[in-house]
């Protein structure tokens, strides 16, 4: 009975903590992108796309190779996610009803990670062709920039799906490990996702080169 009470109290609290953090992070990315790693990287990718498309004859191979590396990273995560999903599905079929909900929650995270990384591969593949188109006007470079950033956004969210699966995995061992790991995960993600100091460095060194408005463009 006490174990069920802990499940009904600590597990929803752990999920609420993780959900609240990600909603807060989304708000920061939309309203104050210069304080987040996602926003800063989006602005840097904008400058990178402009530099690559300024001289496609010179930078074409470098641009395609860079995007290919990103495709490989997304492919590794997608392959890992679908492999782990298969393992979890086998465990679900052989486990009792007590672990079905726990395995299902982990399975949802891995399937979400798989789909998100597949979308990331899709956008990076498009960008690998578009990046070598001569930038005749600003609209072309802007479209390529948004395509590259969309691939990165899907990759980032897919990576966060892997992170969220860790507390859900510990839920198998009890509600207390799940709740504690949720708090630890949010604490860790805060230092991985927030970059106020880095934003200050960029703002004082080359503010004219970084346009953070691209971070909220879809």
13 found inside a domain = no
Q: What percent of the chain shows pLDDT beyond 70?
A: 85
Phi-psi region of 174 (alpha: psi -120 to 50; beta: other; left: phi over 0): left
Cβ neighbourhood burial of 175 (10 Å; 0-12, 13-18, 19+)? buried
101 found inside a domain = yes
Per-residue pLDDT, 210: 55
* Containing structural domain, residue 106: 67-197
Per-residue pLDDT, 217: 55
Which range scores top for mean pLDDT: 31-40, 96-105, 115-124? 115-124
pLDDT-derived band at 73 (thresholds 50, 70, 90) equals: very high
pLDDT over 80 at 77, yes or no = yes
C-alpha 14: how far from chain center: 20
179 found inside a domain = yes
Distances (CA, A) of 126 to 43, 49, 113, 151, 186: 20, 14, 20, 9, 33
Per-residue pLDDT, 42: 92
Phi-psi region of 186 (alpha: psi -120 to 50; beta: other; left: phi over 0): alpha
Of the listed ranges 24-33, 161-170, 207-216, the one predicted with least confidence: 207-216
Paired with 194 in beta bridges are 36
Distances (CA, A) of 166 to 21, 83, 152: 16, 16, 22
Can you tell me the distance from the alpha carbon of 85 to that of 157, in angstroms, rounded to the nearest whole number? 17
39 found inside a domain = no
Q: Helices marked H in the chain — which ranges?
A: 2-31, 37-54, 56-94, 100-130, 138-170, 175-193, 196-205
Cβ neighbours of residue 205 closer than 8 Å, sequence gap 6 or more: none
pLDDT digits (tens, 9 = 90+) for 56-70: 788 888 999 999 999
pLDDT digits (tens, 9 = 90+) for 86-110: 999 888 888 766 678 889 999 999 9
8 found inside a domain = no
16 found inside a domain = no
C-alpha 53: how far from chain center: 26
Per-residue pLDDT, 207: 42
pLDDT-derived band at 131 (thresholds 50, 70, 90) equals: confident
The total number of structural domains that make up the chain: 1
Q: What percent of the chain shows pLDDT beyond 90?
A: 59
108 found inside a domain = yes
180 found inside a domain = yes
Can you tell me the distance from the alpha carbon of 10 to that of 3, in angstroms, rounded to the nearest whole number? 10
């Amino acid at each position: 009975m006490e174990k069920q009470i802990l499940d009904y109290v600590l597990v929803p609290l752990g999920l609420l903590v993780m959900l609240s953090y990600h909603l807060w992070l989304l708000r920061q990315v939309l309203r104050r992108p210069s304080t987040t790693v996602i926003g800063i990287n989006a602005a840097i990718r904008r400058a990178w796309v402009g530099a690559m498309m300024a001289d496609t004859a010179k930078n074409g191979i470098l641009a395609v190779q860079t995007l290919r590396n990103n495709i490989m990273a997304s492919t590794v995560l997608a392959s890992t996610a679908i492999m782990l999903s298969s393992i979890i599905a086998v465990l679900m079929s052989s486990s009792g009803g007590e672990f079905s909900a726990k395995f299902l929650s982990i399975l949802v995270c891995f399937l979400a990670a798989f789909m998100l990384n597949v979308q990331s591969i899709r956008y990076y593949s498009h960008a690998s062709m578009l990046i070598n188109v001569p930038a005749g006007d600003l609209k072309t470079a802007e479209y390529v920039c948004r395509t590259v950033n969309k691939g990165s956004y899907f990759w980032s969210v897919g990576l966060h799906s892997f992170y969220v699966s860790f507390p859900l995995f510990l839920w198998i061992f009890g509600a207390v490990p799940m709740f504690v790991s949720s708090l630890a995960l949010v604490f860790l993600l805060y230092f991985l996702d927030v970059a106020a100091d880095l934003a200050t460095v960029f703002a004082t060194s080359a503010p004219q080169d970084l346009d953070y408005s691209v971070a909220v463009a879809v």
